[in-house]
Amino acid sequence: MRPTTVIFIGPQGSGKGTQIEKLDQVLRGKDPTRRVVDIQTGRRFRAMAASGEGYTEKHVQATLNTGVLQPLFLSTVLWGDAMRTHLDNECHLLIDGFPRVIDEAKVLESALRFYDRNPVDIIYLDTPEEVVRGRMTSRARPDDTKESIEERLRWYREETLPVVEYYRVRPNAHVHDIDGTVSIDDVHRAILNALNLA
Amino acid sequence: MGKTGCGKGTQAHRLAADFGYDLFSTGDRVRALSNEDTSLGRHIRDIHMSGWVPEWLASYLFAKAILEEDIDHGLVFESVARKPEEAKKLHEMHHMLNRSYVVLHLDAADEVVIDRMRKRQRDASDSEENIKKRLQAFYDETVRSLEFFREQGKVVDIDATRSPDEVYQEVLKAIAK
């Protein structure tokens, strides 16, 4: 099995984290000798903010509190750190929470090319806003206020959806449209089918 | 900032030494990384990376330096933001962190820098062909970085055809403002 690169894109609450965990298990089972690297920018940010010590951490905390998208330079640093210590051209790579804007997609492309990781699969978890709102209000993380949820949805609509369209026309990228409204197991099955892992 | 052979390395080192500022050079940072026992260090060694630094790595290096190093007293960048995308990130970062900066453009005609580089010939990388390639990269990419910084009102143009001492006096004037 060749090293795969899978990027998950979907609004918050579309189940990306859950689906990555399930896909991670499948890959480990099918290809036990290869490492699976999960890079989840959102989790890294929350972990960093929780530590709350340095300059970087304070800025992460401030951006999380306002619900605004983290500035590009912060994700560049988080990403670079992750790639510096974990990424090579042999592992399977699962990405969540990045890229959120087209500029980040370009940064990522530069990094994946550097590591000879082509092509990439995009799992687009298509989930309408009403569904996401419902799930988010029942989830209740500390950074989930009504305002921050709306702000992130707006960001997603205006900045992240164009990233999906960007990938549709890139060579070496395959966008798989997955219905994110069905059950966790059904979404998982659809993802495995899309990636020829079923 | 400036073309290959404009003297930015000399000026940057002198400024950093005189004021006790940290000096950031992308090339030096990449060399340091290549000695690390990390997947990135190994990969840099495997592909024998030299000269050309991918955008994500260039941006990662300067962003990390600004965020994590103790640079409150000052930082001199040598060879940074060669591509316009990097320039935008560098600017965004300073803006969001409320740090001021100035871009010194050491301006010299192609003939002047080519002539200097011919005399310098430090090693194989200073071959005629490589000098032309670096000049072409300057016109393809760095000119647009400079345009971007100029739109932000950050650029001071300095005539780099004069002696190093004279250029340094202009550098001091520019940073005193």
The backbone torsions φ and ψ at residue A107, rounded to the nearest 5 degrees and listed phi first, read -60, -45
Say if residue A64's pLDDT is above 70.
no
Structure tokens at A28: 């480990």
CA A39 – CA A94 distance, rounded (Å): 6
Under 8 Å between Cβ of B85 and A106: yes
Q: What is the pLDDT of residue B150?
A: 98
Say if residue A66's pLDDT is above 60.
no
Q: What is the pLDDT of residue B95?
A: 87
Residues B30-46 pLDDT 10s: 999 999 998 899 888 88
Say if residue A45's pLDDT is above 70.
no
Residues A15-40 pLDDT 10s: 999 999 999 999 999 999 999 988 87
pTM here is: 0.80
Query: Between A and B, how many residue pairs show a Cβ–Cβ distance under 8 A?
Result: 83
Q: How, if at all, do strands B75-78 and B103-107 pair?
A: unpaired
Q: What is the pLDDT of residue B52?
A: 72
Structure tokens at A61: 């905390």
Q: Where are the domains of chain A?
A: 5-40+90-194
Q: How, if at all, do strands B155-159 and B103-107 pair?
A: parallel
Say if residue A41's pLDDT is above 80.
no
Domain B8-176 in CATH 3.40.50.300? The answer is: yes
Across the interface, do B40 and A85 touch by the CB < 8 Å criterion?
A: yes
Q: What is the pLDDT of residue A28?
A: 95
CA A18 – CA A87 distance, rounded (Å): 22
Residues A95-109 pLDDT 10s: 988 888 898 898 888
* Terminal Cα-to-Cα distance of chain B (whole angstroms): 18
User: Of A152, A184, A112, A1, whose CA–CA distance to B55 is shortest?
Assistant: A112
Classify B23 as helix, strand or coil: strand
Say if residue A68's pLDDT is above 60.
no
CA A119 – CA A112 distance, rounded (Å): 9
Residues A73-83 pLDDT 10s: 777 888 888 88
Q: Could you state, in chain order, the average pLDDT of each consecutive group of 10 residues for chain B (177 residues)?
A: 93 95 90 90 81 84 86 87 92 87 96 88 75 92 97 97 96 92
Give me the CATH code for the A5-40+90-194 domain, please: 3.40.50.300
Residue A60 banded pLDDT, cuts 50, 70, 90: low
> B60 at the A interface (CB within 8 A)?
yes
Q: What is the pLDDT of residue B124?
A: 67
Phi-psi region of A122 (alpha: psi -120 to 50; beta: other; left: phi over 0): beta
Task: Name every chain A residue with its beta carbon within 8 A of the beta carbon of B93.
Answer: 71, 73
> B100 at the A interface (CB within 8 A)?
no
- Percent of the residues in chain A that have a pLDDT greater than 90, as a whole number: 46
Q: Strand pairing partners for A121?
A: A6, A174
Residue A157 banded pLDDT, cuts 50, 70, 90: very high
> B43 at the A interface (CB within 8 A)?
yes
